[in-house]
């Protein structure tokens, strides 16, 4: 038995939204409904999980997760498709969805997916929240500051970075100092950790 949860149902089709909301209420959960990503982000929910219709298949859910990351928000996502194919499932899971269901007609499959997501969500939420924050910080960097950070993460010294970027070591130091300030990093290792946390989403 899982605790009562808030399910944020994202689907452009009113009939599917109503169907999923009925299942959610029948399973003892609370449901909030949204017609599009903008509505969900405007509401900025801080708890629960998202049931998102993946249409176009393999594109809608990755776009949702990317939008949440840009907004510095993250909730666990269960993708739902009318007739999910392997490619769509793989793309959604790689983007960070915790599960992918064919449109459920009964409570049991939905409750099973919610239970699995709830079990995984805490650790996943913490990792995604760190990544979202890291991406927001890195987005403040200029192109040159980002180039310095990328090479720093590859283990390059200031001299090696200067050679690669064809600038002076002193200029590298200036960009590095500005980069560290914008990231709020106290030392190079912290800047590199932020870079790894942000880029780790791309391999998820």
What's the confidence (pLDDT) of residue 58? 93
Output the pLDDT for position 81.
Answer: 93
Homologous superfamily (CATH) for 6-131: Response regulator (3.40.50.2300)
What are the residue ranges of CATH 1.10.10.10 in the chain? 140-203
- Who's near 80: CB < 8 A, 6+ residues apart? 11, 20, 51, 52, 53, 54, 100, 101, 102, 103, 104
Residue limits of CATH 3.40.50.2300 in the chain: 6-131
Note the pLDDT tens digit of each residue in 158-170.
999 999 999 999 9
pLDDT < 50 positions in the chain: 1, 203-204
Query: What is the pLDDT at residue 3?
Result: 73
**CA–CA separation, 69 and 37 (whole Å):** 12
Q: Which of 120, 11, 121, 3 is nearest to 64 (CA)?
A: 11
Other CB atoms within a 10 A radius of the CB of residue 23 amount to: 22
| Architecture of the structural domain at 140-203 | Orthogonal Bundle (1.10)
For residue range 81-100, list pLDDT tens digits in order.
Answer: 988 888 999 999 988 898 99
- pLDDT score recorded for residue 16: 94
Report DSSP state, residue 201.
Answer: G
Q: 39 near 11, Cβ under 8 Å?
A: no
Write down the pLDDT at residue 10: 97
Helix and strand element counts for the chain (H, E): 9, 5
């Amino acid at each position: 038995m899982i605790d009562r949860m808030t399910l944020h149902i994202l689907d452009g089709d009113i009939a599917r939204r109503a169907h999923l909301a009925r299942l959610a209420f029948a399973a003892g959960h609370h449901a909030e409904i949204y017609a599009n990503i903008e509505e969900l982000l405007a509401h900025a929910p801080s708890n629960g999980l998202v049931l998102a219709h993946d249409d176009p298949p393999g594109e809608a859910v990755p776009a949702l997760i990317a939008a949440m990351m840009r907004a510095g928000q993250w909730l666990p996502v269960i993708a739902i498709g009318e007739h999910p194919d392997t490619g769509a499932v793989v793309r959604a899971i790689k983007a960070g969805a915790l599960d992918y269901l064919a449109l459920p007609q009964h409570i049991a499959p939905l409750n099973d997916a919610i239970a699995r997501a709830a079990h995984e969500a805490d650790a996943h939420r913490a990792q995604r929240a760190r990544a979202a924050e890291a991406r927001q910080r890195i987005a403040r960097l200029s192109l040159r500051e980002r180039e310095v950070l990328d090479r720093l993460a590859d283990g390059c010294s200031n001299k090696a970075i200067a050679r690669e970027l064809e600038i002076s070591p002193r200029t590298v130091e200036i960009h590095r100092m500005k980069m560290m300030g914008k990231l709020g990093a106290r030392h190079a290792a912290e800047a590199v950790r932020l870079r790894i946390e942000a880029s780790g989403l791309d391999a998820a």
